[in-house]
A and B are shown apart, each in its own frame.
Chain A
């Protein structure tokens, strides 16, 4: 086979993965042109990261839930509930904000345990339990706040949502951000190479070298471009660090740990997983506790970023997070999906939101377009699957 045709064939096999990145690039370029260069302006990139961080954080937890074959409709309401509790603790009781954060994370775990109990041990479908949670926790948020909003949080707390890492030097490219960016790029480079060497040694690798190089160059370039853009504005947003840690951590959990394997096995075939000795109920229970904690993180980031605890916070977040996961290639029936995929899916939604807002497109038209993008992405998946099984 000629190298070119074999290269094309390989890419065709990776169509979903490749398509996702291409879609993101096309959308970014499209808005960069139509907005007259605003999309990739340093201040906008910084905003993009900060404004989408909570959706991306939620998507990390949601993709795990969806891989296991469940769904969580309550995350938006849990964001509001946790935000409300944090507001009361910090704004009214004047509790030290670090303690409040710890308590809120514990509360998130309890919320998850409550829902997980009914789903895993009582056998009620997650759709129903979390639909109930969506209503109940929205109500709880309103009760906690007593129909008022709480604002004026301490600066330290606000920083986790809207702050930046300390900056050094006053002009041009902020040095700390540059260093962090370069270190990240270097880490990606070294880890990818190391993994490839190890995988080749055990003949685990079937990825062609050229594609490995293309992917690596793309990733390193992406990191460096974002670094330069952030460094020429206010530096590194703290939420980006939080998000980065979550993404890396859960990617490893899903791809490398026993727990992650069990989640894929449950979503792929629940009965077979049970008969293989997997404690399916416990895994499901833990999964929802995890989702609760992640929702709490999103709630804290959102409240801090807006400097406002409001009962209507997080309205519709669950739908954005679920969309991100499905655009990112997860299967509705479970068993398939990745954390990075969900993040790219979330970025596509984020860039769409941001670009359309800059262009001044009506929010109802925005809704319409986002709906069509979700449908198109899943339709593409289904079409792809049919094509590959048809052969």
Chain B
């Protein structure tokens, strides 16, 4: 009884310098829920972009067969025409249009060139009933929560006679009851004959609704498991997701850990828009002098939110908790105060939040500590600035002809070094590095690790946030795991394994409380 709706055979996809997918094959049965799981960067999203035509036919190798027929999608429009709908993690709804308008956006119900509002709202109401959303179709998207918006996306997909629905991390931004409802809906759609592919790294979720699961790791298919089988255990899936060798990609380093440097107590942060939702929930963190502390968490676990809320309340509302440095309470309520108290935060998105891309390396390095360059009155000494910047260019090995080069022209790794230089020059006690090696090639990664080690050797506390478990295992002395905004474990390096961490990263709130 193998009725295959979709088959992807030997898909290869390369980006400059990265082999994103290598010989990935997957076959999906009609009327089933097929989960694809893997770590961040394993190739899940790339695979779905290949399938939906975001990467047009010809930009990758391999075959796609839909209902047994080979297909060549050149755009998203092509794949939608063939009955494939993809719902992305970031919802693609227009906030100030109504639910009905969004459902039929780009696909308007019209009569003689004018929108047929009666048909639009009537049909929309039917679709809303189908997905179990009790809202008036004329309600604006901005007025309903994220969970309901997700359902609107599904209703939109259903309006296009979809036979294969792809959901990319559908519950990442949802609370428990909304997630439950969404999973129920997917189940009932399946029972009506719909096929769904769900991308997720939440194991409990996969166990709850998937019929089969395909595990990807580093762009390879590891295996496909029948969820009914006895050997499709949680452990096996985790092992499949993380089971890569940790080879010599990290410098040897022995930390000299001193006294307590930073202590964060009962840190709670609420979502800036959805004020009821706790993004960080009662977190307690300690960082010692000379220690490299990792924070591991999956996407949406609240890692960046935790860091940015600590750094001058740059994220979130209704923040509560206390911060101590060397046992003395300090205020981090604004960015200047956080910096003055010796905290630095290097962002995960350096182009958006880290650099002034239309200004020079020199001026980017000095900007967080310009006061140190004032020679008299309020005048910045350019000569001193040049010497400082040139010093960092040499010690950090920033590859550029001079420090007068615009940062926008540098490669990712060199941009990251400029951001790190900026914070090193502000001479902090604690550095929070958010995804310090994202989008950087292997060689530059090693250099960044060396810099992190050097900072720790100077007695600074370094917090490293990373999606890559091997990276954390390779450089950290201690690792906190974060799941749904809560710290679920505090593991010394000696005891940490990827499997162990992954268990805590996917741990549910109830279990933590018990």
- List residues of chain A with CB under 8 Å of any chain B CB: 198-199, 201-204, 206, 252, 256-259, 261-262, 264-265, 268-269, 271-279, 331, 335-336
From B311, which residue of chain A is reached at the shortest CB distance?
A: A275
Q: Is B382 an interface residue (CB 8 A)?
A: yes
Question: Chain A nearest CB: distance from B401 CB in Å?
Answer: 10
**Known contacts A198-B383, A273-B367, A275-B311; A258 and B374 CB within 8 A of each other:** yes
Q: In the bound complex, how far is the Cα of B402 from the Cα of A206, in angstroms?
A: 10
Are A256 and B379 neighbours in the complex by a CB distance under 8 Å?
A: yes
Chain B residues whose CB sits within 8 angstroms of the CB of A271 once the complex forms: 352-353
Are A336 and B358 neighbours in the complex by a CB distance under 8 Å?
A: yes
Chain B residues whose CB sits within 8 angstroms of the CB of A279 once the complex forms: 336
Are B314 and A274 neighbours in the complex by a CB distance under 8 Å?
A: yes
**Known contacts A198-B383, A202-B383; A268 and B422 CB within 8 A of each other:** no
**Known contacts A206-B404, A273-B367; A265 and B359 CB within 8 A of each other:** yes
Question: Chain B nearest CB: distance from A233 CB in Å?
Answer: 38
**Known contacts A265-B356, A271-B353, A275-B311; A256 and B387 CB within 8 A of each other:** no
Are B379 and A257 neighbours in the complex by a CB distance under 8 Å?
A: yes
Chain A residues whose CB sits within 8 angstroms of the CB of B339 once the complex forms: 277
Are A257 and B378 neighbours in the complex by a CB distance under 8 Å?
A: yes
Q: In the bound complex, how far is the Cα of B378 from the Cα of A259, in angstroms?
A: 8
- Contact partner, B335, options A199, A264, A277, A336, Cβ 8 Å: A277
User: For chain A, what secondary structure do more than half of its interface residues adopt (helix, strand, loop), or is it mixed?
Assistant: helix
Q: Is B345 an interface residue (CB 8 A)?
A: yes
From A195, which residue of chain B is reached at the shortest CB distance?
A: B382
Q: Is B292 an interface residue (CB 8 A)?
A: no
Question: Chain A nearest CB: distance from B310 CB in Å?
Answer: 12
Are B367 and A278 neighbours in the complex by a CB distance under 8 Å?
A: yes
Q: Which of B340-373 contact A (CB under 8 A)?
A: 345, 347, 352-359, 363, 366-368, 370-371
Q: Which of B374-390 contact A (CB under 8 A)?
A: 374, 378-380, 382-383, 386-387, 390
Q: In the bound complex, how far is the Cα of B338 from the Cα of A265, in angstroms?
A: 19
Q: In the bound complex, how far is the Cα of B383 from the Cα of A201, in angstroms?
A: 9
Question: Chain B nearest CB: distance from A81 CB in Å?
Answer: 31
Q: In the bound complex, how far is the Cα of B379 from the Cα of A259, in angstroms?
A: 9
**Known contacts A261-B363, A264-B359, A268-B359; A275 and B383 CB within 8 A of each other:** no
Residues of B in contact (CB 8 Å), total 36
From A201, which residue of chain B is reached at the shortest CB distance?
A: B383
Give per-residue flags for B293-334: 1 if the beta carbon is below 8 A from chain A beta carbons, else 0.
Answer: 000000000000000000110100000000000000000000
- 23 residue pairs of the A-B complex, CB under 8 angstroms, read A199-B382, A202-B387, A204-B382, A206-B402, A256-B382, A257-B378, A257-B380, A258-B374, A261-B366, A261-B367, A268-B357, A269-B355, A271-B352, A271-B353, A273-B367, A275-B314, A275-B335, A275-B345, A277-B338, A277-B339, A277-B426, A278-B367, A336-B358
Are B353 and A277 neighbours in the complex by a CB distance under 8 Å?
A: no
Question: Chain A nearest CB: distance from B90 CB in Å?
Answer: 18
Are A261 and B353 neighbours in the complex by a CB distance under 8 Å?
A: no
Chain B residues whose CB sits within 8 angstroms of the CB of A275 once the complex forms: 311-312, 314, 335, 345, 347, 353-354
Q: In the bound complex, how far is the Cα of B391 from the Cα of A203, in angstroms?
A: 13
Q: In the bound complex, how far is the Cα of B375 from the Cα of A198, in angstroms?
A: 15
Ranked 8 nearest A-B pairs via Cβ: A268-B356, A202-B383, A276-B368, A277-B339, A257-B378, A269-B356, A277-B336, A277-B335
Question: Chain B nearest CB: distance from A9 CB in Å?
Answer: 15
Are B380 and A256 neighbours in the complex by a CB distance under 8 Å?
A: yes
Chain A residues whose CB sits within 8 angstroms of the CB of B402 once the complex forms: 206
Are B335 and A274 neighbours in the complex by a CB distance under 8 Å?
A: yes
Chain B residues whose CB sits within 8 angstroms of the CB of A331 once the complex forms: 358
Chain B residues whose CB sits within 8 angstroms of the CB of A265 once the complex forms: 356, 359, 363, 367
**Known contacts A204-B386, A257-B378, A335-B359; A276 and B404 CB within 8 A of each other:** no
Question: Chain B nearest CB: distance from A282 CB in Å?
Answer: 10
The winner among A201, A259, A277, A279 for most chain B CB atoms within 10 A is: A277
Question: Chain B nearest CB: distance from A27 CB in Å?
Answer: 29
Q: In the bound complex, how far is the Cα of B426 from the Cα of A278, in angstroms?
A: 13
Q: In the bound complex, how far is the Cα of B336 from the Cα of A276, in angstroms?
A: 8
- Contact partner, B422, options A258, A264, A276, Cβ 8 Å: A276
From A257, which residue of chain B is reached at the shortest CB distance?
A: B378
Chain B residues whose CB sits within 8 angstroms of the CB of A204 once the complex forms: 382-383, 386
The winner among B367, B368, B387 for most chain A CB atoms within 10 A is: B367
Question: Chain B nearest CB: distance from A254 CB in Å?
Answer: 11
Q: In the bound complex, how far is the Cα of B363 from the Cα of A276, in angstroms?
A: 12
From A203, which residue of chain B is reached at the shortest CB distance?
A: B386
Give per-residue flags for B445-484: 1 if the beta carbon is below 8 A from chain A beta carbons, else 0.
Answer: 0000000000000000000000000000000000000000
Q: In the bound complex, how far is the Cα of B311 from the Cα of A202, in angstroms?
A: 35
Question: Chain B nearest CB: distance from A98 CB in Å?
Answer: 28
Q: In the bound complex, how far is the Cα of B367 from the Cα of A259, in angstroms?
A: 11
Are B354 and A272 neighbours in the complex by a CB distance under 8 Å?
A: yes
Q: In the bound complex, how far is the Cα of B300 from the Cα of A134, in angstroms?
A: 46
Are B356 and A258 neighbours in the complex by a CB distance under 8 Å?
A: no
Are A272 and B358 neighbours in the complex by a CB distance under 8 Å?
A: no
**Known contacts A274-B314, A275-B347, A277-B335; A258 and B359 CB within 8 A of each other:** no
Q: In the bound complex, how far is the Cα of B335 from the Cα of A275, in angstroms?
A: 6
Question: Chain A nearest CB: distance from B312 CB in Å?
Answer: 8
Question: Chain B nearest CB: distance from A287 CB in Å?
Answer: 15
Question: Chain A nearest CB: distance from B348 CB in Å?
Answer: 12
